[in-house]
Amino acid sequence: MIDFVHIKVKAGDGGKGAVAFRHEKYYPNGGPFGGDGGRGGNIYFEVDTNETTLIKLRYTKSLKAGNGGNGMTKKMHGKDGEDVTVKVPLGTMIRNAANGDLLADLTKPHQIALIARGGKGGLGNVHFATARNSAPEYAQPGEIGESLELQIELRLLADAGLIGFPSVGKSTFLSVVTNAKPAIAEYPFTTLEPNIGVVELPDERSFVLADMPGLIEGASDGKGLGHEFLRHIRRCRVLIHIVDMSGENQDPIDAYRIINEELSKYDIDLENKTQIVVANKMDDENAPVYLEWFKEAYPDLKIYEASTLTHQGLSEILYAAMDAISEARKAEEEQTEHEEVVVYRYEPKRPDFEIVNLGNHRWKVESDKIDRLAEQVDFDKDEDTYQFAMTLHKLGIDTALYEAGARDGDQVIVGTYIMDYTE
């Protein structure tokens, strides 16, 4: 079952840095006193194993995280904006709707993905005081939080899979214990694609159940519907293996053996999966005799007798499956419980600039971003020039120049401006 929703998300904007000055009795002309803006809230998506659908998001057109508060006087920081965490089911994939890029593939319990990052708060004017200018009128604006349109897709990972020969009653089983409405018919290979439903038990536990197309001898080599869905079976924690005791289509003893052989051939690790063996169609008049033979052939096997037609014996099977699934989930959760898995879609930040050695102690900083910034600067004004130098410093350009080999007195070309380099 695949489920899609589209939503817009907007991370919080950073708060503005404050321009303020100290005005106290004994400091009539005190220095800059403006604090920093707070960080904008982030938007996270987190796996919650209690969720099984995206229905909640279907009614959400957009989500917005809190903006950071503005900086205040007395160097007080603005408050950080509130984060938003969206709980989604296991198997949720989040894409950037604009280009289809996969931002996160949430496949483990507790996994968290940072999807939209809040803007940084602006620095208050306390950061900009210098020997030359002890009363800066400048503070940074806050960064704008990211906004994205998301395409969210749920690929339910089935906890349990119904397997067996064609026409044994797998789809009938699914249709009786879940809301799913799969096609059911006498002829083999009625089911061509797995159908999925959610089993909800009276004790409020639930699991995802899928029926599978029928398996036949040679399925692992691609016979019948072959490989297509064996890969789904591999991911199920529990297999409910249905054997048709009417004996109408196959001998139940052979059927059970052949299915297990095919699964092993396909490298499905049967040792580590719980297999619940169901003797189905027990309402059929021939079933009791076949069942006796079956028990003699497999004396150590626990067999659940059932009829999906008359709904006999089904709840015992569901509880057995649920218990095995709960145990498997617990083991999985314990593995990941204490390491919060964070999937950042961010690549390690690439520098926005390149340092080019022109030789002769001359260097060039190549960067569109910095060229654009430089256009705004009035280099006749000390304050502007100073701010620009500070920006270069913050972007790590002086360090990068040093690492590239620049030394005191070298010339650095930035945009159309030539500066002297000082370590």
Ligand X SMILES: Nc1nc2c(ncn2[C@@H]2O[C@H](COP(=O)(O)OP(=O)(O)OP(=O)(O)O)[C@@H](O)[C@H]2O)c(=O)[nH]1
Residues that bind ligand X in the complex, under the rule CB under 6 A = 166-172, 184-186, 188-191, 211, 213-214, 280-281, 283-284, 307-309
CA distance linking residue 74 with residue 76, whole number of Å: 5
CA distance linking residue 173 with residue 55, whole number of Å: 25
Considering the complex, state which of residue 50 and residue 286 has its C-beta at the smaller distance from ligand X.
286
**Which of the listed partners (ligand X, Mg ion, none) does 47 bind, with a CB threshold of 5 to 8 Å by partner kind?**
none
Considering the complex, state which of residue 189 and residue 402 has its C-beta at the smaller distance from ligand X.
189
Helices 170-177 and 314-336: crossing angle, nearest 10°?
A: 80
Considering the complex, state which of residue 284 and residue 383 has its C-beta at the smaller distance from Mg ion.
284
Considering the complex, state which of residue 229 and residue 388 has its C-beta at the smaller distance from ligand X.
229
Given the rule CB under 5 A, which residues bind Mg ion?
A: 170-171, 190-191
Asked if 154 contacts 201 with a C-beta cutoff of 8 angstroms, the reply is no
Considering the complex, state which of residue 95 and residue 170 has its C-beta at the smaller distance from Mg ion.
170
Considering the complex, state which of residue 243 and residue 365 has its C-beta at the smaller distance from ligand X.
243
Asked if 287 contacts 281 with a C-beta cutoff of 8 angstroms, the reply is yes
Minimum CB separation of residue 237 from ligand X in Å reads 21
| Residues facing residue 366 across a β-bridge | 354
Minimum CB separation of residue 265 from Mg ion in Å reads 22
**Which of the listed partners (Mg ion, ligand X, none) does 280 bind, with a CB threshold of 5 to 8 Å by partner kind?**
ligand X
DSSP state of 251: -
266: its two tokens: 């396909």
Minimum CB separation of residue 292 from ligand X in Å reads 18
**Which of the listed partners (Mg ion, ligand X, none) does 307 bind, with a CB threshold of 5 to 8 Å by partner kind?**
ligand X
Alpha-helix runs per DSSP H in 298-396: 314-336, 368-375, 382-394
What end-to-end distance do the CA atoms of the chain give, in Å? 61
Minimum CB separation of residue 261 from ligand X in Å reads 18
CA distance linking residue 134 with residue 151, whole number of Å: 50
In sequence order, which residues have a C-beta less than 8 Å from that of residue 170 and are 6 or more positions away?
A: 162, 163, 164, 191, 211, 212, 214, 242
Phi-psi region of 311 (alpha: psi -120 to 50; beta: other; left: phi over 0): left
Minimum CB separation of residue 190 from Mg ion in Å reads 5
CA distance linking residue 299 with residue 134, whole number of Å: 91
Number of other residues whose CB lies within 10 A of the CB of residue 150: 25
Minimum CB separation of residue 304 from ligand X in Å reads 13
Considering the complex, state which of residue 65 and residue 219 has its C-beta at the smaller distance from ligand X.
219
**Which of the listed partners (Mg ion, ligand X, none) does 283 bind, with a CB threshold of 5 to 8 Å by partner kind?**
ligand X
Burial 36-52 (b: 16+ CB within 10 A, else e): bbbbbbbbbbbbbeebb
- Cα-only R_g, the chain: 33
Minimum CB separation of residue 86 from ligand X in Å reads 36
